[in-house]
Structure 1
Amino acid sequence: MTQLNSFSVPDFHLPFGNSKHPLAARANADATSWAVRHELVTDAVEQFAGIGFGHLAGRVSGEVPYETVALLAEWMAWSFVLDDQHDHLIRTGELEAWRPVVGAITEHLETGGTPEAPGTPDTQGARRARQTQGARAAQGAGARRNPLVSGFVDVCDRILAGMSEGTAARYRAHVPLMLHSLDQEAGNRGTVGRPSVDEYILMRRHSSQMLPMMDMVEAGLGIDLPQRIHDLPEFKALIASAVDVISWGNDVFSLPKEYSCGDNNNLVSLIASWEGCSLADGVRAVENRIQARIEDFLTGERLLFETLDARGETDGAIRADVARCVRSYEDWIIGADLWQRYECTRYSDERFAAGLESAYTRPDLVWVA
């Protein structure tokens, strides 16, 4: 593989229009304040706000009340912290500290409760925390009081309150899969753990963190499709094609960072590595795959409605909601691309591109009492 000396993101020729909620900038500011209030971020707040999660939320939410956009922006803010803090623990070899956090989040999803975590392991992170907070605080720090967990509980409860039973069930199923995919990403670091391209594609559908957010948007739009529609192979294929386009595009945007720090969790890097080609050729290969998946999406839309016809699904309300879902996926595809190109500083930040941790990452976050 050649070095990444010069790099530009190609135009993926996405054939969809997009409009942004007029209060997206406000949602970004409010979600940033929410993250600071929950102590998810305490330093480099301006850099954190530059991610532009409120702008992304505004591009994918459609015409909904401001509160719906703001809630999605808060979830997105939380998910970026989650991703970066998990990356920090991978870098420092402290992944055991992650188990109580995941356990508390999963427990809350299943029961609504957030039990105390077991005693914190005696890792380098724990030792740093004891030096700054005292031995008692570090040893007694429960996941319930951890900002990642308390932030999740706050936003999750409000998300579920606005969901139908069916949508809530899908959301509850998607979040643990998302968390598990982070562990898979950790296992993929280094030459030994390098996944195949096909293995990575399946994992990426969850590590993209898209599916819980799609559930949120569906609920915000008032869409409540019966599970039998979600279970249709054609419906599942349509979602998969949309998530693939978004995820693979993001891999191109984030390539400088992931290549710089030797992270295998990137489709461009994997193709270049397995096929023995240059990164430039890898980018072109991903671009071609994205165009093919766009065609899959467009074909999938037609096949989905043909399937509804064949199954006798003539209910006008259901068919209208299917059409609104399809339109929402189009918003996600084009909205994510526009956000990364024009409204997000994350992928152009010199620190990020050099493969370094974000300046707002908190080394002590898991250990806060």
Structure 2
Amino acid sequence: MRGITGSGLHEPPFLGQRHPATGRVAGESLAWARGLGLVEDGPRWHRLRAADAAELAGRACPRAPVGRLRLLTDLINWLFVVDDSCDEDELGAEPGRLAPTVATLLDVLDQHGTTGAAAPAGGPLGVALADICRRVHHHRPALLLRLVAQLREYLLALLWEAANREHQRVPELTEYLQMRRHTGGVRPSLALTDLAYDVRPGPGRRTDPAVLALDNLTVDLVCWCNDLFSHRKELRAAPDPHNLVTVIATHTGQEIDAAVCTAAGLFNDGLDRFLVGEAALAGDPTLAPFLDVRRSWIRATYDWSLRAGRYA
């Protein structure tokens, strides 16, 4: 396992699958990103292609209709472009530099991607975001409200990251765990996977504390897995405070290898709690698609991370 050998990280005990149209969707989504100007030839193009968003989406959504798999892949590619702009192109180095971009993208979200005859604000990022919103509205307008709210939380959380970078501040563990749920872009990705499988828990079930807890735990496990696989690459670049391993090492005084094992232990404990929570909800057939999506995302993140050029 790249970067986590000897950590004791447990493999999620779920069946790993891959959509048969993954390769086709990869090409289509990259062409979409290029056509809208999200990336051009050069380092950013190579980073996006190496990230292989379609591989992650195809494993998270192995039985979805191809059009909805493509929509999820486009969203993940958009998130990767934003993430790389903040982390590697230094847009997220200071909140004052990032704020204008966030403001224009929030404007797109406020209008739910519908800007009439006017071009969306925010340049290519805004155009691509508006396109995603319009396509989600076409499939299920009610789910667009959820997606918009989650993307708004994601964008505002990027400003929190930028403020930490500006002040060279490593957040405390409790704060980091809460904010990581928003900076990872996992919630909007889950929303589009729910759309792909037509997941529709009734309002009472969607707000059930046990369902909410399992949803939060899914987001945590995906983000913590990401942190464990990515931290070695981040250490080779400029130090960044937004990684579970870095947070643990900073605030406990542990050496990096020990902090990796501690982070892996958090993941393993969370996975055990997920299995218990899943078993408690499995008796409700209306939640079967909801649970299937969350199992798939945990497994997909683990399998994709093992191979991802993004973490090489």
TM-score between the two structures when normalised by the length of structure 2: 0.90
- Written as runs of structure 1 = structure 2, the 5 A alignment for 1:162-177 is 162-165=139-142, 167-177=143-153
Paired residue for 1:121?
Answer: none
The separation in 2 between residues aligned to 1:92 and 1:281, in whole angstroms, is 29
Shift of 1:160: 2.6
The separation in 1 between residues aligned to 2:104 and 2:217, in whole angstroms, is 32
The separation in 2 between residues aligned to 1:143 and 1:70, in whole angstroms, is 22
Paired residue for 1:345?
Answer: 309
The range that moved more, 262-271 or 218-227, is 218-227
The separation in 2 between residues aligned to 1:92 and 1:275, in whole angstroms, is 26
Q: Do the aligned partners of residues 90 and 299 (structure 1) sit closer, same or farther apart at CA in structure 2, a change above 3 Å counting?
A: same
The separation in 2 between residues aligned to 1:88 and 1:227, in whole angstroms, is 40
- Written as runs of structure 1 = structure 2, the 5 A alignment for 1:248-259 is 248-259=224-235
The separation in 2 between residues aligned to 1:111 and 1:145, in whole angstroms, is 13
Shift of 1:93: 5.0
Q: Do the aligned partners of residues 262 and 114 (structure 1) sit closer, same or farther apart at CA in structure 2, a change above 3 Å counting?
A: farther
Paired residue for 2:75?
Answer: 75
Give 1:304's aligned amino acid.
L
Residue 293 (structure 2) aligned to one of 306, 320, 328: 328
Shift of 1:68: 1.1
Pair 1:266-2:264 in alignment: no
The structure with more radius of gyration: 1
Paired residue for 2:49?
Answer: 49
1:113-160 CA-to-partner distances (Å, cap 9, x unmatched) read 459x9xxxxxxxxxxxxxxxxxxxxxxxx9726111111111221123
The range that moved more, 53-62 or 43-52, is 43-52
The separation in 1 between residues aligned to 2:92 and 2:167, in whole angstroms, is 18
Q: Do the aligned partners of residues 90 and 227 (structure 1) sit closer, same or farther apart at CA in structure 2, a change above 3 Å counting?
A: farther
The separation in 1 between residues aligned to 2:291 and 2:105, in whole angstroms, is 30
- The alignment-based identity, stated in percent, is 27
Unaligned segments of structure 2, at least 5 residues: none
Q: Do the aligned partners of residues 254 and 190 (structure 1) sit closer, same or farther apart at CA in structure 2, a change above 3 Å counting?
A: farther
Shift of 1:227: 2.4
Equivalent pair of 2:48/2:80 in contact (CA under 8 Å)? no
Give 1:323's aligned amino acid.
A
Give 1:297's aligned amino acid.
F
The separation in 1 between residues aligned to 2:136 and 2:171, in whole angstroms, is 34
Q: Do the aligned partners of residues 7 and 331 (structure 1) sit closer, same or farther apart at CA in structure 2, a change above 3 Å counting?
A: closer
Equivalent pair of 2:173/2:247 in contact (CA under 8 Å)? yes
Pair 1:178-2:178 in alignment: no
Shift of 1:191: 6.5
Pair 1:284-2:253 in alignment: no
- Written as runs of structure 1 = structure 2, the 5 A alignment for 1:139-154 is 144=121, 146-154=123-131
Give 2:14's aligned amino acid.
F
Unaligned segments of structure 1, at least 5 residues: 1-5, 118-141, 307-318, 349-369
Q: Do the aligned partners of residues 93 and 50 (structure 1) sit closer, same or farther apart at CA in structure 2, a change above 3 Å counting?
A: closer
Q: SS of 2:165's equivalent? A: coil
The separation in 2 between residues aligned to 1:155 and 1:327, in whole angstroms, is 24
Q: CA RMSD for the aligned pairs?
A: 2.4
Shift of 1:241: 1.2
Q: How many residue pairs get matched?
A: 305
Shift of 1:90: 4.2
The separation in 1 between residues aligned to 2:184 and 2:122, in whole angstroms, is 26
The separation in 2 between residues aligned to 1:29 and 1:143, in whole angstroms, is 25
Q: SS of 1:151's equivalent? A: helix
Shift of 1:266: 0.5
1:74-126 CA-to-partner distances (Å, cap 9, x unmatched) read 111111001111235646856434333322322232334459x9xxxxxxxxx
Equivalent pair of 2:91/2:98 in contact (CA under 8 Å)? no
The range that moved more, 154-163 or 102-111, is 102-111
Equivalent pair of 2:36/2:128 in contact (CA under 8 Å)? yes
Q: Do the aligned partners of residues 19 and 146 (structure 1) sit closer, same or farther apart at CA in structure 2, a change above 3 Å counting?
A: same
The separation in 2 between residues aligned to 1:93 and 1:60, in whole angstroms, is 31
